[in-house]
Structure 1
Amino acid sequence: MTALALETAPEMRPRPPRAGCVITADASYAARLAHDGTSWFPQRWTLDGPEPYAVPLPGRQPEEPDTDVLPLTDGRVLIRRRADGRRHLFALLYPTGPETGEVPLGAVECGELDLLPPSPDGRSAYALEPGEKSTHVWLVAGGAFGPEHVAEVPGRCSGGVWLDRAGRLLALDREPADGGPVKTVAVDLERGGEVTPLLQITEESDDRLLIADLDSGLILVRSDAATPGAPRLGWGVLGSTLPVRFPQALRVADCTVTPFAVQPGQTLLPESCAVALRIDGPAEGAPWLGLWRPSDGTMHQLPAPAGWLTGSGFWSREGVLSLPCVTREVSCGLARVSAPEPSVPAADGQPAPAVPGAPSAPRPVPLGQAPLGGRKAGG
């Protein structure tokens, strides 16, 4: 675990590129690794205009398929390249007329290193170095002197969900070094990685935080608390004393359902937020879409648009879902889907109860030992 000066070297251990793209927290830019039929290259999408448009950012040589990219809100794109199997080299890319400008940032030497989702501040980028006994958090863009080690968290951590707009509080799913169930913890990056318990539904359950909306406090979790040994999707509200609920509407037989976007702007109305979900079937094939609200007893399932960059998308405040797509005819497009009108009553025959919004406290309040909701077939 060492920060190094930047140096070039052949890349190794390629893995398949991600099918989707990465979108900034404010949905102003996106970035992806594109392919022109012969080689891989970074591509930046501008999303905050009337129509999206793409800018290619090719380097001096083609990229490897295991290269990662992450957009910043100033229009630059962070790129992470692998070299010699253990070096992760970082740089910032930006368009300069017909060429691509590149600012080297340095490198981190370690085995496994995963970029975290874009920080809400739009200027910083972080990476997670998981280990068997502890996990290191790196600031890889936005620091003063290249990659900076900012925190060490006991246990092996994964995931990564931001809990505030400053990019200070980070939720990680932690597996204790001595074994035991996975629990989500909040890590304060400005206090040396101070750890606070965040999500524990029961002592024995594996509880993982998948997504959190900072306006309403709505969260979606995956936990086996309601059905031991069989993880289910549930929802709750950050800071609420009400239980996490596991509605039947979020279950699709023999499929994996994963949330990827929540409607913003629904302050104090978490039950009204539209949620977009990716649905993967048991056999190989294209994923499809699910649209759902906590107040709704039904998940609306839709075919994915042609060329969807799978698993990526963002909501407008008005409830329109934009899905980045690439086809032979459209090299940079957004398919737009309106959220369905809420339907009541909920699946158990009762209207979904209102739940309070997130508190104004500077750190999240743990979702603690509240009794489980949604054990019934309709819950």
Structure 2
Amino acid sequence: MTVCAIETAGRTGFTIAADGTYAARLAGDGDALYPERWTLDGPEPYAVPLPLGQPEDPHAQVLPLADGRVLIARRAGGGYTFSLLYPTGPGTGQLPLGAVESPALRLLPPSPDGTCAYALTAGEHSTGVWRVAGGAYGPEHVAEIEGRCTGGVWLDRTGRLLALDRQLDGRPVKTVAVDLERGGEVTELLQITEDSEDRLLLADADSGLLLIRSDAPSPGHARLGWGVMGSTLPVRFPECLRLADAAVTPFAVQPGQMLIPEGCAVALRIDAAAGSWLGVWRPSERRMRQLRAPAGWLRGAGLWTPEGELRLPYVTGAVRCGLARFVPDAVTQPSQPEDARGEPSAREVTPGVCKPVPLQQAPLQQAALTGRTARG
């Protein structure tokens, strides 16, 4: 399963493991917060609270591992401490892992290997990449990247290649690929134009589909677009993904579509003054379907199955741990937006040099992406 949770830090965060088996969040009310693990791969989801002797800080970050343990990062003094939590009968076990001295730290999305966890730390002129779980001797500094890095998207299924959005020397933000097995060696991944800000939001290792936000079509106004890893075709910016007075953010891509990026279903969160709801779209389609999200949806979190079932976690007063399951292809609700003639808009904006850097031209990444054929 390909999963992604946009909100990965703080009180509202709900993070799903790379294989879709577990999830974790901070649960509770007010100041009485505690980590909670969800099991998602059974007939029905269920939640296990993992409280300790005192409530957690609202800024604590949690991340599930594939073995069912939950990593927690807690602020402590001028840095962060890390522990693994797990249920032990009626109580909670805790395995301390060590600490990282940094006033600003953010956990990255779960590693595809399911056993390691990584974090970014902000320095004055560079960004550190730390392996905070899964190493031999506690937190390990694995790379130091020049510039200020944000984002974080895994490009393969081994946890070797990490994409980061980097700002360097005051230049526009560009996405780079970091090879964690080569000491953090950096190669360019995405540059649409020299002056555009280009960020990678999601990547699917099976199909090569990339979801991108860039202001290349309209300088100063970021647009949502898509491209294909290894392709020489331009990034496309479908008009149907551009909504007036609403922000559209992709959060999950359908896995298992080997080398068929145009057929991958993409789930999007739509946020506007009236609230939040769900969008479903495929690159091969000319329209985005807009659907009502389940009550209590943990916004920005969800997963696809390879068969095309979308699963959204939710919590209500009556349901402590819920997982809404539906197949969007079976939904007949009318899609939006439409043009003035009542037809779905199909216009795509493609700047003259609008293309991702083909990954097969980056020698450090070739070995980890063997077997992939470039597609348009």
**Is TM > 0.5 for Structure 1 vs Structure 2?**
yes
Q: Hey, what does 2:367 align to over in structure 1?
A: 362
Q: CA deviation at 1:231?
A: 0.6
For 1:127, which of 116, 119, 125 is the aligned residue?
A: 119
Structure 1: segments with no counterpart, 5+ residues: 1-15, 351-356, 366-372, 374-379
Identity %: 67
Give the deviation of 1:94 after TM superposition: 0.5
Q: Counterpart of 2:99?
A: 107
3-state DSSP class of the match of 1:271?
helix
Distance 1:132 1:217, change over 3 A: same
Amino acid at match of 2:163: A
Query: Of 218, 239, 255, which aligns to 2:209?
Result: 218
Tell me, yes or no, if structure 1 residue 154 matches structure 2 residue 159. no
Q: Do structure 1's residue 320 and structure 2's residue 313 form an aligned pair?
A: no
User: Residue 377 of structure 1 aligns with which residue?
Assistant: none
Separation of aligned partners in 1, 2:49 and 2:80: 22
Matched, 1:305 2:294: yes
- Residue-by-residue CA offset, 1:318-376 (whole Å, 9 max, x unaligned): 11110000111110110123123699x973389xxxxxx997933569xxxxxxx9xxx
Please report the TM-score for the alignment, with normalisation by the length of structure 2: 0.86
Q: What SS does structure 2 have at the residue aligned with 1:362?
A: helix
The number of aligned residues is 340
Do the aligned partners of 1:237 and 1:358 also contact (CA within 8 Å) in 2?
no
Name the residue aligned to 1:165. 157
The residue that corresponds to 1:270 in the other structure is 261
Amino acid at match of 1:304: A
For structure 2, the residue ranges without an aligned partner over 5 or more in a row are 1-8, 336-342, 349-357, 371-375
Aligned partner of 2:171: which letter?
Answer: G
- Distance between the aligned counterparts of 2:13 and 2:292, measured in 1? 17
Distance 2:151 2:100 in 1: 20
Do structure 1's residue 17 and structure 2's residue 10 form an aligned pair? yes
Q: 2:353 aligns to what?
A: none
> What residue is the counterpart of 1:347 in the other structure?
345
Q: Deviations over 1:66-102 (max 9, x none)?
A: 1110000000000011112x22010000000001000
Q: Which amino acid in structure 2 is aligned with residue 143 of structure 1?
A: G
Matches within 5 A, 1:1-379: 17-36=10-29, 39-84=32-77, 86-176=78-168, 178-281=169-272, 283=273, 286-340=275-329, 347-348=345-346, 361-362=366-367
Q: Distance in 2 between matches of 1:358 and 1:272?
A: 21
Aligned 8 A contact 1:28 1:73 in 2: yes
CA RMSD of aligned residues (A): 2.3
Displacement, 1:34?
Answer: 0.3
Q: Using the alignment, how far apart are the partners of 1:361 and 1:341 within structure 2?
A: 39
Whole-angstrom CA distance in 2 between matches of 1:170 and 1:253: 33
Using structure 1 for the length normalisation, give the TM-score. Answer: 0.85
Q: Counterpart of 1:238 in structure 2: which amino acid? A: M
